[in-house]
């Protein structure tokens, strides 16, 4: 059942980012319009309203747009200022079915974890020792119910997104990430995702080299990613950047595959993004290194790990 956005009741703005042209808002949607969610909420009825997050993002301009100025693609313009060789103009595009103004991602029902994640927050650099991982982070990960990654399971089981698959094996699959719409976004905005089938690998802390380790899997993902982007999009090897997040957005191991020309993506922040090639090299040299080193990364104040990790920082040597 398609979600009807006219049924959305606004509550408050969670975050806005002028640089990335996006806005996160919180509100509610009727349970009757989110059929898949009713079963996951005991006692819910079609008359209930469920918490919902809308992430509104301006879509990229097609490269052909400037060529269409003379054909009337602009409905109206207004000159703001002009001095010497510089002029600033506001413009309004005509409505076109092939050129949407917004991309809207909906999370419903949104949990408190979702609301915190998409809220504006301060960031603190923390030092996660192996001991802190075992005593703070690992219990936090293990406390998540399976329902939090059910959407991943649905993709892996072929229940959803099956028509979008670009590559599939017994160990992993590759498909476009929800952040990238191939029909409206340029190729330089390419964003794919490799999802591993093994649920026991929750983050890069679980990766090991050596006999029976994960190096064959990681190398297979790397090779498949390069093969897919060359076959499907004509991009030569070296045209994409493969990396892993820590902390990840969800605890089911996955690899991000983005165009190498992309810059300014929030997920490529130093400390959060770890290049897949570097991970492979580290595990080749020292098979257990990812479980035995201190990882330093930024943690948002709304993250569930923020308070326990901040409290523990005084004990980090």
pLDDT one-digit tens code per residue, 98-107: 778 888 999 9
User: How many other C-beta atoms can be found within 10 angstroms of the C-beta atom of residue 137?
Assistant: 21
| Of 3-12, 91-100, 204-213, minimum mean pLDDT range | 91-100
Percent of the chain with pLDDT over 90: 60
Report whether pLDDT(37) > 50: no
Q: Residue 317: pLDDT band by 50, 70, 90 thresholds?
A: very low
Which pLDDT score, from 0 to 100, does residue 61 have?
78
Q: Tell which residue, 192, 221, 217, 197, has the closest CA to residue 207.
A: 217
| Of 64-73, 204-213, 240-249, minimum mean pLDDT range | 64-73
Report whether pLDDT(41) > 60: no
What residue numbers does the annotated binding site for substrate cover?
151, 161, 177, 179, 245-256
Q: Tell which residue, 166, 156, 118, 127, has the closest CA to residue 302.
A: 118
Q: Residue 159: pLDDT band by 50, 70, 90 thresholds?
A: very high
**Locate tokens 């570097």: which residue?**
278
Q: Which residues of 270-293 are buried (b: 16+ CB within 10 A; e: fewer)?
A: eebbbebeebbebbeeebeebeee
Which pLDDT score, from 0 to 100, does residue 160 have?
92
Report whether pLDDT(313) > 80: no
- Domains of the chain by start residue, with CATH: 5-103 (3.30.200.40), 121-315 (3.30.428.10)
* Alpha carbons 301 and 22: distance in angstroms, whole number: 20
User: Where are the strands (E) in 69-189, listed by range?
Assistant: 74-83, 86-93, 102-107, 123-128, 167-168, 172-176
| Of 7-16, 152-161, 174-183, minimum mean pLDDT range | 174-183
Q: Strand, helix or coil at 34? A: coil
Which residues have C-beta within 8 Å of that of residue 153, sequence separation ≥ 6?
A: 146
Q: Is 254 among the catalytic positions?
A: yes
Q: How far is CA 216 from the centre of its chain?
A: 25
Q: Residue 217: pLDDT band by 50, 70, 90 thresholds?
A: very high
Q: Strand, helix or coil at 18? A: coil
Report whether pLDDT(93) > 50: yes
Residue pLDDT, tens place only, 253-287: 999 999 999 876 767 888 899 999 999 999 999 99
Of the chain, the end-to-end C-alpha distance in Å amounts to: 53
Q: Residue 31 in contact with residue 38, Cβ under 8 Å?
A: yes
More confident residue, 22 or 183: 22
Q: What is the average pLDDT value for the chain, to the nearest integer?
A: 89
pTM listed for this prediction: 0.77
Element (H, E) at 297: strand 295-300
Residue pLDDT, tens place only, 110-146: 998 899 889 998 888 999 999 999 999 999 999 999 9
User: How many other C-beta atoms can be found within 10 angstroms of the C-beta atom of residue 312?
Assistant: 19
Given 114, 214, 226, 254, the catalytic residue: 254
**Environment class of residue 256 by beta-carbon count within 10 Å: exposed (0-12), middle (13-18) or buried (19+)?**
buried
Q: Residue 33: pLDDT band by 50, 70, 90 thresholds?
A: confident
Q: Residue 268 in contact with residue 185, Cβ under 8 Å?
A: no
Q: Residue 64: pLDDT band by 50, 70, 90 thresholds?
A: confident
* Alpha carbons 251 and 239: distance in angstroms, whole number: 27
Which residues have C-beta within 8 Å of that of residue 148, sequence separation ≥ 6?
A: 111, 113, 250, 251
Report whether pLDDT(315) > 60: no
Report whether pLDDT(303) > 70: yes
Q: Residue 256 in contact with residue 249, Cβ under 8 Å?
A: no
* Alpha carbons 148 and 135: distance in angstroms, whole number: 22
Which pLDDT score, from 0 to 100, does residue 198 have?
97
Which pLDDT score, from 0 to 100, does residue 19 have?
74
* Alpha carbons 288 and 282: distance in angstroms, whole number: 9
More confident residue, 291 or 39: 291
């Amino acid at each position: 059942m398609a979600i009807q956005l006219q049924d959305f009741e606004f509550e408050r703005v969670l975050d806005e980012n002028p640089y990335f042209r996006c806005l996160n808002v919180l509100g509610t949607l009727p349970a009757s319009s989110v059929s898949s969610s009713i079963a996951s909420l005991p006692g819910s009825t079609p008359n209930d309203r469920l918490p919902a997050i809308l992430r509104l993002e301006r879509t990229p301009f097609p490269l052909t747009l400037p060529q269409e100025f003379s054909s009337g693609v602009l409905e109206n313009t207004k000159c703001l200022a002009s001095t010497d060789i510089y002029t600033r103009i506001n413009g309004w595009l005509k409505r076109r079915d092939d050129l949407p103004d917004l991309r809207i991602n909906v999370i419903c029902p949104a949990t408190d974890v979702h609301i915190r994640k998409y809220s504006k927050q301060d960031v603190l650099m923390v030092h996660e020792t192996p001991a802190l991982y075992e005593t703070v982070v690992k219990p936090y990960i293990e406390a998540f119910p399976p329902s939090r990654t059910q959407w991943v399971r649905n993709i892996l089981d072929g229940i959803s997104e099956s028509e979008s698959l670009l590559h599939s094996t017994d160990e992993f699959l590759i498909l476009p990430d929800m952040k990238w719409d191939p029909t409206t976004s340029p190729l330089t905005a390419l964003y794919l995702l490799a999802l591993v089938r093994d649920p026991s690998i929750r983050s890069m802390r679980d990766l090991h080299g050596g006999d029976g380790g994960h190096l064959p899997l990681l190398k297979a993902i790397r090779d498949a990613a390069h093969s897919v982007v060359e076959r499907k999009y004509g991009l030569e090897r070296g045209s994409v950047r493969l990396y892993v997040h820590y902390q990840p957005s969800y605890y089911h191991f996955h690899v991000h595959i983005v165009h190498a020309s992309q810059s300014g993506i929030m997920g490529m922040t130093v400390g959060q993004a770890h290049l897949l090639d570097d991970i492979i090299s580290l595990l080749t040299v020292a098979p257990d290194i990812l479980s035995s080193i201190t990882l330093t990364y930024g943690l948002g104040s709304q993250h569930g790990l923020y308070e326990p990790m901040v409290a523990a920082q005084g004990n980090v040597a």
